[in-house]
Structures are given as structure tokens and as C-alpha cells.
Amino acid sequence: MENVSLTQAIKLIKDKKISVKELTQHYLNKIEEKKDLNAYITINENALEQAEKLDSEGNSSGSKLFGLPISVKDAYSTKGLRTTAASNILKNYVPTYDSTVTKKILDEKAIIIGKTNLDTFCHGSSTATSDFGVVKNPYNKERVAGGSSGGAAVSVSADLCVAALGTETAGSIRQPSSWCNSVGLKPTYGRVSRYGILAMGSSLDSPGPITKTVEDAAYLLSIIAGKDVNDFTTSSLPTSDYFASLDPNKIKGLTLGVPNQFITLDLHEGVRKNFEEAVKNFEKLGAKIKYIDILDPKYSMAVYTLTCRSEVSSNLSRYDGTRYGVAGELELSSSDYFGSTRGKGFNQEPKRRIMTGTFALSAGYSDKYYRKSEQVRKIIADNLKSKFKEVDLILGPTTPTTALTAEEAINNPLFGEMADVLAEGSSLAGSPGISIPNGFIDGLPIGVQLIGPHFSEQLILDAALAYQNLVS
């Protein structure tokens, strides 16, 4: 049961080589063993009971995730299971409904083994902003896991579950995957429903899988993707069985564009060399490499910062202590009450972002900041889309560095934006992307990423599988 992938675990259970209970207990033990990594905020105390029940029922209906212990980022609403968004303001919040994605995996008889740690309200790229402590990198505990889906990435790479669900706004799946040696898929915006996921950047948030293999990511995506009546921003385009359709041979003859702007960025030397190897590997696989120009990532950074913080300031307005979450002091007027709840419940990072976002939306400034930002966003998105007329996919390093330390994260308010600089452009455009492991630099994992046009998840997975087969 050590280091089994999702697809391997399916076979083991189906062939009755292990029981659901055994597998579940195995992960519960490992989670306890490695609790210093701090990957989980809440463990599902009914997991074992649910496992036993599944064992006694059997899988006659052919549920696709039968008995598989999956971790879920603590930004997804899980009915009956505490959901905190790694914030004190929700430390006692138990949702009364399931998000669409968690409902889908539960309908396929998965076991949610626990809720993974994250940067508070997804604000960050390290998990250092979590009110439940930072998540440590399993390859070097002095380093952080990355974020905001740091706990999810660690739960997979430290083998604390079979697969994980994370979310990405700009880098939050891909970056921690790169730092923790996992596969992280960010689907096209609108491919997977956001209903029930605590909103950060409503026009950016993309739920997606973080897994041990590319096959696992394809398998999970098939289950969670699709139009949702509860999310008006989901796409009506049909989904596929991405797993069944996997075809690594598609890499042959594919044109991969490498943005010059990614290379001239301030990449750590090790990363630069590592990436050059990746380029050669893709050529070995039969892909054609073409160097292209995209808009300077600094524009994406500025636009992302403004747009996301504006949306954050709006999305966090509902946490006022009247209906859920930490209560304020009842003796006050309503505005003071709200102030006391939010003052107590939010830490520095959400407060910072709320203030920035409120400013950017305020009268007299919103034209200059928010509206302008949205106009530039369209230019960035169009520019990226146009590149896919010249190339099939874009190839680049996922992150400019390997995992950094917590101090580096805390002391720089724009840490996240800089760590995500290679992801922001594609996120703003709503494009899908995947990060796949590409070895280690000084013992720390590093990934490479493929970005594609909207709804090109199949092609991205095909190319990623070809690469995975080559390097592992």
C-alpha cells in the first residue's frame, strides 16, 4: 500500500488485494506519523466507519472512486465536516451542504479522509498565512510546501492519501505541485464547478486535482468536470473520459512554444538548467520547440494583484459573524459587531487584501485601478490565445525557484505574486495548465508546466503523460 497511485489503488481494491478499511487505516496511520508536516487541518473521524460500510456493501454498482481515501483542500464546503479556509473566522464552521465537486466524488463512493491545510482563504503561495500553522515541505522541513494548496500537494507527495483536490486562482495548484513533486492540473476556468468552494477570485478560481501520476489527474478530472446548474460560470461544452482517451503519442509532432519572457525572468540557475533539460526531453519525445514572445509577465502580476484583491475584498464581505463563523461581541452596534468579528477572525493577510481591494474599487479610484486592470486583462488573454495559432501548447518552468523558507514568504507581501509569476498570465486568461515533476535541485523538487488553449485538457494530459513516461 506504500505510494500507491489512485489507479493502482482502484485495482488493488477491485482485486480484493486490500480492503477499503485497510487502505483507510493505512493513511490515517501515516497522517498521524507525519503530522509534523501539518498537511491536514481536520481529519474525518468517520472515515474508518465509512470504510467498513463500503467493504460490507461491495461495489456492485461500479462506483468509480470506490473506497479511495481522497484529501480535500479546506476551501471546499463539505457537509458535516468542518470547513475553515485555514482561518480563525471559520474555525467552528460546519457546512450544511456539499460543494458540487465533493458531492461528485462522494457519489462515486470516495472517502474524504480529511481537509488539507492552505494559505488562509487561499491568499498566498506558501501556507505561511494559515491560521493553523504552515505546511512543511516533505523533502526539506525547513522549507514550505507552497500554496495555496500546500496541504493538498503534501498529502499526495508524502503519501498521506491516494489523491487530492485543490483549487487554483493563479498558481495555487501548479506551484505547490512543483515544490512538492506532485502532478497538479488546473483545468480551464468554467470546466469544473466552483459551487460550494469558498470564493477567492470569482473570475479566476479553478478547482482541480493534485495527484501522484498524470493518469490519476485525468481520471479525477473526468469525474469532477462538467456543467453545473448551480454555477452559472461553468461551460456547457461536453466533457470526455480524459483517462480512457489518454494518448501519449499525441506528443509526436506537437509544437511547444517556450516564451522568451519566461526564460529571461529571474530564474534560479538550477531551475534554468533543469528547464533546458526538459526542453531537450520534449524534443526527444518528438515535439517541436518554438521560442515565442508573450506579454511581459509583469503586466500579469499587476493585473492579477488588482483584480484578485478587488474580488477578494468583495467575496470576504459575507464573513460578518451573523450566521456562521466566529461571533463578535453581541453588545455592539451592527457595524461595530462586524468590525469585531472580522478584526478578531481575519489575520493580517486577508485584512491586507481586503484593504487593497476596497481601495481599488472605491469611487474615484476604480476607473484607474479595477476597470483598467480588467481592460489589460483582456489584452493579456487575447495575446495568449493568439499564441495558440502558432503553437499547440506552451511549455515553461512552473516556478522560478524551488521551495523557499517561511521567512521569505512572510516578509514579502508580494511573495505570492512573484512565486506565481509564471502562472498568472494563463490564469487571467482562464487557460488550463499542468505542472509535472521534473526531478530535483539540491534535494528539492522542481516541475515543468504545460499550458494550453481553453478546454485542451486532453492534449495537455497526453503530452504530460508522454513526459512522465520518459522521466520516471
Residues belonging to the active site = 73, 148, 172
Pairing of strands 136-137, 140-144: antiparallel
Interface with another protein, residue 93, by CB under 8 A: yes
Q: Which of 350, 410, 404 is nearest to 84 (CA)?
A: 350
For another protein, what does the binding mask look like between residues 186 and 225, x meaning CB under 8 A?
--------xxxxxx-xxx----------------------
Instruction: For CA atoms 185, 188, 192, 198, give the dihedral sign.
Output: positive
Q: Which of 165, 126, 110 is nearest to 38 (CA)?
A: 126
3-class SS of residue 290: strand
Interface with another protein, residue 322, by CB under 8 A: yes
Q: Of 270 and 339, which CB lies nearer to another protein in the complex structure? A: 339
Least Cβ distance, residue 330 to another protein (angstroms): 9
Candidates 66, 76, 242, 275; binder of another protein (CB under 8 A) is 76
Least Cβ distance, residue 105 to another protein (angstroms): 16
Q: Of 279 and 303, which CB lies nearer to another protein in the complex structure? A: 303
Q: Are 188 and 225 in contact (CB under 8 A)?
A: no
For another protein, what does the binding mask look like between residues 393 and 432, x meaning CB under 8 A?
----------------------------------------
3-class SS of residue 184: strand
Least Cβ distance, residue 398 to another protein (angstroms): 26
Least Cβ distance, residue 77 to another protein (angstroms): 5
- Cβ neighbours for 157, distance < 8 A, ≥ 6 positions apart: 138, 139, 180, 181, 182, 212, 445
Q: Are 360 and 306 in contact (CB under 8 A)?
A: yes
Q: Are 431 and 300 in contact (CB under 8 A)?
A: no
For another protein, what does the binding mask look like between residues 27 and 56, x meaning CB under 8 A?
------------------------------
Q: Are 126 and 137 in contact (CB under 8 A)?
A: no
Q: Of 141 and 318, which CB lies nearer to another protein in the complex structure? A: 318
Residues that bind another protein (CB under 8 A): 76-77, 83, 85, 90, 93, 95-97, 99, 194-199, 201-203, 229-233, 310-311, 313-314, 316-320, 322-324, 334-335, 338, 358, 361-363, 366, 370
